Amino acid sequence: MASFTPDPADSANADTTIAMQDLYSVKLRSIVAAVRREPLSFWAINLYLLLEYVRPQTAYPAINILPWDKVALVIALVALLADRHSMRVKNGADKLMMLFLIAVLASSALATYPHESFSHLSEFTDWLVIYFLITRIVTTPVRFFIFFLAFLIYNFKMSLHGFRSWAGRDFAWASWGVTGAPGFFQNSGEFGIELCIFFPLCYYFIITFWKNWGRTKRFIFLLFPITTIASVAATSSRGAAIGLAAAVLFMAIQSHHRVKAIVIGALILGTLYIIIPPQSLARFHAAGTDKTSEERLVRWKDGLNMLHRHPFFGIGYFNWDRYYSLHYSTVTGGYGLPHNIFIQAGSEMGYFGLGTFIMLIIASFINNRKTRMLVPKANNPFIYNTALGLDAALIGFLVSGSFITVLYYPYFWINLAYVVALRTVAENTTLNTPSLAAFPTATGESTPSAF
């Protein structure tokens, strides 16, 4: 499904001169030295990640004078095009992304309200550009590790904020839950989905490098999953709790140590159940019969009806809001989003768009499976375990995203970009690259196989 053709002059060869064990030990000086060696395109794509997940331009209005995230992407694109030594990357997911673009354009041209569609084209085309930038820039072990670590840190900032917000009200329940960074994660339900993605990624990261760290770093990184579980409980989002449970269950099933994994999974989910406020548990007991559940069931039924009536290209990309308010008058008052990523794709883009989206999901799992085949756990536990984490993160998104309208949020598209980038790194890993298993740890032991 994928092929990789490195340029002999590519700077990826310089990876072997960088002490990877220092990066895996998260030594700040080594990380800074590694970043300084990288081209402008890598700096720019990292800046984009910061702007998207931390949103300093929103926190400090004085600097919010330009669309900085767009500026960072333009810089990354120009720098990448100007780099004569950039790698040529090919992956089957590329074609599916272009096929999804065709689905968007076709459903827009044939939409009930074409103006609504074309005015929202950037909602997908932005992710298309970001996907290609990440998969073409983050192509070496050093780049991937740094880019991935930054992603974990930015998510930890949000999970820590959620935990502190909950602790600030004495761990009491609030209907609005807790929120993440402004923008895509400001709503508690949307923040909860990101937590479902973050948990398996940080968990696999920790078990991979645990023996490479001293006590201080172990304590800091343990806060990643702890604050995530607490923030999921604090979001008051049933979808987030179910999504986290699905991700943990998937992780247990995938483990080679099934009994140990089941015990750990039970402890994680048991902890989540214990700390969830009683009001949130009451919402679980009322699931299917409360007003919110009934309205969503109606919207799902109406969405399937739209798909049945417009099977090929749907009612039109981004047409749901207007179409639903004019053509449906039910218990929801003719208002409300689909609250399901599959219903959203199918109703707006028909079976063409829905089928392409499902193929992208399958392609993600196939890529991760082939990554693990290319680089067995014994050769590089980081690559192997991260592929497992990306699978579990996707499961968490698919389950939690079945209760909210988030198809064009970063969740799926960023995850897919990481999947393809990791596959490229796996293919670029040669016998000249030291295996993680051979690196000495802080205790002088070799790093064991994880999970």
Residue bearing tokens 């696999």: 204
Q: Is the pLDDT of residue 368 over 70?
A: yes
Dist CA 47 CA 69 (whole Å): 8
Amino acid at 433: T
Dist CA 398 CA 193 (whole Å): 9
For residues 357-380, give the mean pLDDT: 95
Mean pLDDT in the chain?
Answer: 89
Q: Is the pLDDT of residue 340 over 90?
A: yes
Domain-located, residue 197: yes
Dist CA 149 CA 213 (whole Å): 15
Please choose, from the candidates 352, 319, 324, 311, the residue with its C-alpha nearest in 3D space to the C-alpha of residue 123.
319
Amino acid at 50: L
C-alpha distances out from residue 283 to 50, 193, 236, 297, 446, Å? 35, 18, 9, 16, 47
Domain holding 342, by residue range, is: 90-438
Tell me which H or E stretch contains 92.
helix 92-109
140: DSSP letter? S
C-alpha distances out from residue 447 to 162, 211, 253, 431, Å? 33, 6, 23, 18
Domain-located, residue 16: no
Q: Is the pLDDT of residue 31 over 60?
A: yes
Q: Is the pLDDT of residue 406 over 70?
A: yes
State the number of CA atoms in the 13 A half-sphere of 215 facing the CB: 0
The pLDDT value given to residue 55: 92
SS3 category, 289: coil
CA dihedral 409, 415, 417, 421 (to 10 degrees): 160
Domain-located, residue 29: no
Domain-located, residue 22: no
Each residue's pLDDT tens digit, 164-191: 999 999 899 888 889 999 999 999 999 9
Domain-located, residue 10: no
Q: Give me the helices (H) in 235-340, please.
A: 238-254, 258-275, 278-285, 291-309, 320-327
Each residue's pLDDT tens digit, 233-286: 999 899 999 999 999 999 999 888 878 888 989 999 999 989 998 888 888 877
Tell me how far apart the terminal alpha carbons of the chain are, to the nearest angstrom. 28
> CB under 8 Å to 248, separation ≥6 — which residues?
199, 200, 265, 268, 269, 392
For residues 61-88, give the mean pLDDT: 91
CA dihedral 369, 374, 377, 381 (to 10 degrees): -90
The pTM score is: 0.90
Q: At 218, phi and psi to the nearest 5?
A: -60, -45
| Per-residue confidence band for 334, with pLDDT thresholds at 50, 70 and 90 | low
Domain-located, residue 180: yes
Cα of 332 vs its chain's centroid, Å: 31
Domain-located, residue 80: no
Choice between 395 and 16, residue whose per-residue pLDDT is larger: 395
Cα of 306 vs its chain's centroid, Å: 29
Dist CA 76 CA 157 (whole Å): 25
Kindly state the tokens that stand for 300: 């799902």
DSSP letters spanning 170-196: TT---TT----STTTT-SHHHHHHHHH
- Categorise residue 222: left if φ over 0, alpha if ψ from -120 to 50, beta otherwise: alpha
For residues 85-109, give the mean pLDDT: 94
Domain-located, residue 21: no
When divided into structural domains, the chain yields a total of: 1
Dist CA 137 CA 257 (whole Å): 35
Q: Is the pLDDT of residue 132 over 70?
A: yes
The pLDDT value given to residue 333: 56
